[in-house]
């Protein structure tokens, strides 16, 4: 697997996302100026992103090169079906489908299955959402509400050298306050999505942090760890926007992927954690021979839980287009760890 170069600085911004109805040269200049301000405060920037709801996938893709991550936000299933071929051809465009109120059937799973069959690498850029919230800078859940920009961090890196969760949370709060102060006079600043978004291994992995403070993943699941953290990131963010929850990116957090292979991160455990502290199913592997009926069952459960508890949830299943249940993946994606696929 190709490794991404580790950023030396642990103050990492995962995403600067500008939301606009009409992308223009102003949009990219604005993003660059935001990044320059963050760089001056010693933040490393991973990605710059633009979310635009008024253009088709094809139209938006033509406007920017691969250095900008793009999204058309939320599409209706009829729109998504018409644009699927352009989605396959696009350089770097994401979208999501809102299933909050639909009677979920095989029609809804066909979108995912077509992506898996034709361009499986594009599963990384697609998700189902339920009671989604606007203006999150994280893809593919991002959706437009009004013009402006939001910022999402990779906050697990700030846990380096921390001896406790409380020590890490203090660092998070300081960072949120610093960024809010930096952009307090900018009318375009929508806020910070304080979601916990882990990645790779070592200091960037939340599972690694759990081990470093003397616990293990399975034990942490039945403690108040995630509730404590998720409450803190909602209550102490000075300018919250977007999801502000706990992400459980199964294959992006490489040490969580290891737990998955051990059987410690089943789909049931993922949903349980998401119900009280998280945001849903994220980069979760799916075999090409998984039954559509099973996918419908899981999506229907997420819909029911999301509606019952009035909380945003999502589902992003990923496939390499070849691995069946019991076989090892070969994603050729630096952000996804290869694993032996388990049955949902």
What is the pTM assigned to this prediction?
0.95
* Burial per residue of 13-52, b for 16 or more beta-carbon CB atoms within 10 angstroms, e otherwise: bbbbbbbbeebeeebbebbeebeeebeeeebbbbbbbbbb
Q: Which residues pair with 71 in a beta bridge?
A: 51, 94
Q: 176 is written with which tokens?
A: 């949120």
Residue 16 and residue 35: Cα distance in Å, rounded?
Answer: 8
Walk me through the domains of the chain, giving residue ranges and CATH numbers: 12-318 (3.20.70.20)
Q: Tell me: cis bond preceding 140? Omega within 30 of 0 counts.
A: yes
What is the per-residue pLDDT for 145? 97
pLDDT for res 122: 98
Quote the tokens at residue 290.
Answer: 């998984």
Tell me what pLDDT residue 71 has.
98
Q: How far is CA 278 from the centre of its chain?
A: 11
- For 282, the token pair is 């994220």
Structure tokens at 96: 């999501």
Instruction: Provide the pLDDT for residue 7.
Output: 56
Predicted confidence at residue 47, as pLDDT, reads 97
CA 199 to chain centre: 10
Q: Which residues contact 326 (CB under 8 A, 6 or more apart)?
A: 287, 340, 341
With 0-12 / 13-18 / 19 or more C-beta atoms within 10 angstroms meaning exposed / middle / buried, residue 237 is buried
Phi, psi of 340 (to 5 degrees): -80, 125
Q: What is the C-alpha to C-alpha distance for residues 132 and 113, in angstroms, rounded to an integer?
A: 22
pLDDT (tens place) for every residue of the chain, 344 residues total: 334 445 567 999 999 999 999 998 899 999 999 999 999 999 999 999 999 999 999 999 999 999 999 999 999 999 999 999 999 999 999 999 999 999 999 999 999 999 999 999 999 999 999 999 999 999 999 999 999 999 999 999 999 999 999 999 999 999 999 999 999 999 999 999 999 999 999 999 999 999 999 999 999 999 999 999 999 999 999 999 999 999 999 999 999 999 999 999 999 999 999 999 999 999 999 999 999 999 999 999 999 999 999 999 999 999 999 999 999 999 999 999 999 999 99
- Position 3 scores a pLDDT of 40
3-state DSSP call for residue 99?
Answer: coil
Inter-residue contact 150 to 142 (CB < 8 Å): no
User: Cβ(233)–Cβ(243) under 8 Å?
Assistant: no
Q: What does the pLDDT read at residue 137? A: 98
């Amino acid at each position: 697997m190709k490794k991404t170069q580790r950023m030396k600085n642990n103050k990492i911004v995962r995403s600067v996302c500008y939301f606009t109805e009409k992308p223009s040269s102003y949009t990219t200049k604005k993003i660059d100026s935001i990044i320059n301000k963050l760089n001056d405060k010693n933040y490393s920037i991973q990605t710059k992103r633009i979310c635009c709801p008024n253009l088709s996938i094809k139209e938006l893709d033509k406007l920017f090169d691969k250095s900008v991550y793009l999204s058309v936000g939320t599409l209706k299933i009829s729109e998504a079906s018409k644009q699927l071929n352009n989605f396959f051809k696009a350089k770097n465009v994401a979208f999501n489908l809102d299933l909050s109120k639909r009677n979920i059937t095989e029609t809804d799973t066909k979108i995912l299955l077509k992506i898996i069959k034709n361009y499986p690498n594009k599963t990384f850029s697609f998700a189902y959402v339920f009671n989604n919230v606007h203006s999150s800078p994280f893809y593919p859940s991002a959706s437009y509400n009004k013009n402006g920009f939001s910022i999402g961090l990779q906050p697990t890196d700030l846990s380096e050298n921390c001896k406790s969760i409380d020590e890490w949370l203090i660092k998070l709060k300081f960072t949120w306050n610093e960024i809010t102060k930096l952009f307090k006079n900018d009318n375009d600043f929508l806020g910070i999505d304080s979601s916990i978004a882990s990645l790779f291994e070592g200091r960037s992995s939340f599972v690694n942090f759990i081990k470093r403070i003397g616990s293990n993943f399975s034990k942490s699941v039945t403690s108040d760890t995630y509730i404590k953290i998720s409450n803190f990131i909602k209550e102490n963010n000075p300018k919250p926007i977007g999801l502000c929850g706990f992400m459980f990116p199964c294959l992006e957090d490489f040490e969580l992927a290891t737990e998955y292979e051990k059987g410690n991160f089943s789909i049931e455990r993922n949903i349980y954690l998401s119900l009280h502290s998280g945001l849903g199913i994220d980069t979760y592997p799916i075999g090409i021979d998984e039954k559509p009926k099973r996918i419908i069952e899981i999506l229907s459960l997420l819909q029911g839980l999301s509606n019952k508890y009035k909380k945003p949830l999502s589902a992003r299943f990923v496939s390499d287009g070849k691995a069946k249940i019991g076989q090892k993946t070969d994603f050729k994606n630096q952000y996804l760890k290869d694993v032996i696929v388990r049955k949902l």
